[in-house]
Structure 1
Amino acid sequence: MATAMAATAAERAVLEASLRFTLSCSGTGTEAPAKQENFILGSCSTDQVKGVLTLQGDALSQADVNLKMPRNNQLLHFAFREDKQWKLQQIQDARNHVSQAIYLLANRDESYQFRTGAEVLKLMDAVMLQLTRARNRLTTPATLTLPEIAASGLTRMFAPALPSDLLVNVYINLNKLCLTVYQLHALQPNSTKNFRPAGGAVLHSPGAMFEWGSQRLEVSHVHKVECVIPWLNDALVFFTVSLQLCQQLKDKISVFSSYWSYRPF
C-alpha cells in the first residue's frame, strides 16, 4: 500500500510537470492547440538588439527583431515569414521524455499491486532516467559550430532574408528563451591572422572564425538577448520534485528490503 501511494504521488508530480509545458501529452485525450505567448527580449548590457518572439507550445510562431548596427547605427528589421514556424527541439524532446515517464507510471491497471520491492525500484529507475533527460534538454543547450548555425533552417525563416553577414541562433537555457545574433566580416585572403576554426559552443565570442563556402569569416560582434518563460521555470521545479519523490521511494524500499532480508542468528 505504501509503495502504491508513493508511486501515485510521483505520478501526480510528473503529470504536473507535463502540464507546465502547456502541451497535451500523448494519451491524455486533450489535443487543444497551445496558446500563443509573446515575450519581449532584452539585455541589461546592450540595446543593440530588441525583439518580440511568439511562443506556441514547442514552436516559435512569430519573431520580430530589430538590430542596430554598431558601426553606422543603421537599423535592421527582420521577422518570420508568415508561413513559417520554428520548432524548439529542446522543448519538444523534454515533452517527449515527460510523456514517456507518465506512460511508465500509468501503464498499469488501477488494481495492480507491486509484487516486489525490486519491481518498484526498476520502475523508479526508468522514470527517473526520463525525467533527468527531460531536465537536461532544458538545462544543457546544444553546442553548435558556426557552420552548423549558418546551415540551420532558422536562417531561412526571415523576411526580408538575413544579410549574409548575420547569423541567428535561438535556444533554451534553463527557464530562458535566448536569441543570439552574430555579426560577421570576411577575412581577406592576404590576412595575416592565423586562421583557426572555432569548435562547437553554446555562445561564440568575437574573434571566432569559420569557413563557409569559399569564404573565411570571423565574428565581429555578438548580441544576446533573452527572456524568462514562467512555465519552463515551473516545469524545472516539478522535475526536481518528481525526482526527489522517486528517490525517496527508492530509499524507503531499500530500507524495508534490508529489514526483511535481515536474519538474526
Structure 2
Amino acid sequence: MLHPQRSLSELPKMSAASQVERAVLVEEFNWLLKEEVHAVLKQLQEILKEASRRFSMSTPGLESQLKQENFILGSSTMDQVKGVLTLQGEALTQADINLKVAKSGQVLHFQLREDKQWKLQQIQDARNHVNQALLLLNSRDETYQFKTGAEVNKLMDAVMLQLTRARNRLTTPASLTLPELATSGLMLHVLPPNTTKNFKPTGSSVLHNPGAMFELNNNRFEVSHVHKVECVVPWLSDTLVFFTISLQLCQQLKDKISVFSSFWNYRPF
C-alpha cells in the first residue's frame, strides 16, 4: 500500500516536535537520577535502620544487655504440647515444655539446660543481610551523582538480593536434625530407644512422620508421635513487613527507570 508523500514543509515540524519531546524526557530522567533516586535511598535507609534496631533491642537502663522476652507455645489443633520459651536477641535462653503422651497420658517435662543456649542462626543471618543492605545504601550519599539508570538498577538489585536473603532466612529457617538435637545437650529428658522394628534411617529434616528412625550413639530411635507448635514473635513479624516495603520501593524505582527507556528505541543509559 502506497502512502501519500509528506511535503518537505512538514518534516522540519515533526522533527522539531520530536526533539522537544526528547528534551523534556531527558530533563525528567535527569531529575529522577538527581533527586528522586536519593529520596528513595533515604527512605530505604530509615526503614532498614528500624529493622536493624529490632534485632538488637536492649533492656531499658541496661543498654549492654539484650531484652528477654517470654513467648507461649500454642497450636490451634491440639493441646498435647504446652510451654514457654525465653528469647534474648538471637538465642533461646530458657524453655519449659510439657509433652502429653497420647496413649498413656504420661506428661514428659523438658527444659533447656541452664548452661546451654539455643542460638537461632537464622536471626543472626537476617540481621547481617540487613546490615549489608545498609552498607550498600550508605555507599551512595546525597552528594553522589548517578549518571545512568543502569547504575541505579545495579544498586537496587544488590540491595534487593540482601533483603530477599534476609526474608528467606526468617520464613524458611534451617532446623536442627534429630541427631543434632539429641547430641546438643539442650534438653534434660532422654527417651529410651526402640529397636523392635527394622531400621530404616530417615533424612536430615527435624520434622518426620511417625515411624521414622534415626541412629544415635549406636542406639536406634523411632519417632512415635509428631507435634508442631508455634509462637509469634511480634518484632520478627515487623521486620518481615519492613523487608516487603523495602523490596517494593526498590522495584518501583526500577520500574520508573524502565518507563523512560521505553520511550527510546535504544537504551538511554
Aligned to 2:128: 96
How has the CA–CA distance of structure 1 residues 35 and 73 changed in structure 2, closer, same or farther, with 3 Å as cutoff?
same
- CA distance in structure 1 between the aligned counterparts of 2:57 and 2:129, rounded to whole angstroms: 13
How has the CA–CA distance of structure 1 residues 62 and 144 changed in structure 2, closer, same or farther, with 3 Å as cutoff?
closer
Does the aligned pair in 1 maintain the 2:38–2:142 contact within 8 Å? Answer: no
- CA distance in structure 2 between the aligned counterparts of 1:56 and 1:207, rounded to whole angstroms: 35
Structure 2 residue identity aligned to 1:200: S
TM-score, length-scaled by structure 2: 0.76
Q: Provide Cα deviations, 1:222-256, integer angstroms capped at 9, x if missing partner.
A: 22221111111111111111101001111112223
Aligned to 2:17: none
Structure 2: tracts of 5 or more residues without a match: 1-34
Aligned to 1:5: 39
Aligned to 1:53: 85
Aligned pairs (5 A) from 1:130-169:
130-142=162-174, 145-151=177-183, 153=184, 156-158=185-187, 161-165=188-192
- CA distance in structure 2 between the aligned counterparts of 1:260 and 1:23, rounded to whole angstroms: 49
Aligned mate of 2:259, from 231, 252, 255? 255
Q: Provide Cα deviations, 1:91-145, integer angstroms capped at 9, x if missing partner.
A: 1111111111111111344322222222111111110000000000011132654
Q: Flag the structure with more relative contact order, 1 or 2, with Cα contacts below 8 A and sequence separation at least 6.
A: 1
Structure 2 residue identity aligned to 1:8: K
Q: What fraction of aligned residue pairs are identical, expressed as a percent?
A: 66
- CA distance in structure 2 between the aligned counterparts of 1:36 and 1:42, rounded to whole angstroms: 19
For the pair shown, which has the larger CA radius of gyration, 1 or 2?
2
Number of residue-to-residue matches in the alignment: 230
How has the CA–CA distance of structure 1 residues 214 and 157 changed in structure 2, closer, same or farther, with 3 Å as cutoff?
closer
Aligned to 1:27: none
- CA distance in structure 1 between the aligned counterparts of 2:98 and 2:175, rounded to whole angstroms: 25
Aligned mate of 2:217, from 208, 213, 218? 213
Aligned to 2:50: 16
Aligned to 1:174: none
- CA distance in structure 1 between the aligned counterparts of 2:191 and 2:206, rounded to whole angstroms: 21
- CA distance in structure 2 between the aligned counterparts of 1:72 and 1:236, rounded to whole angstroms: 41
TM-score, length-scaled by structure 1: 0.77
Q: RMSD value over aligned CA atoms?
A: 2.5
Aligned pairs (5 A) from 1:9-48:
9-23=43-57, 32-48=64-80
Higher helix share: 2
Aligned mate of 2:194, from 176, 181, 186? 186
Aligned to 1:204: 208
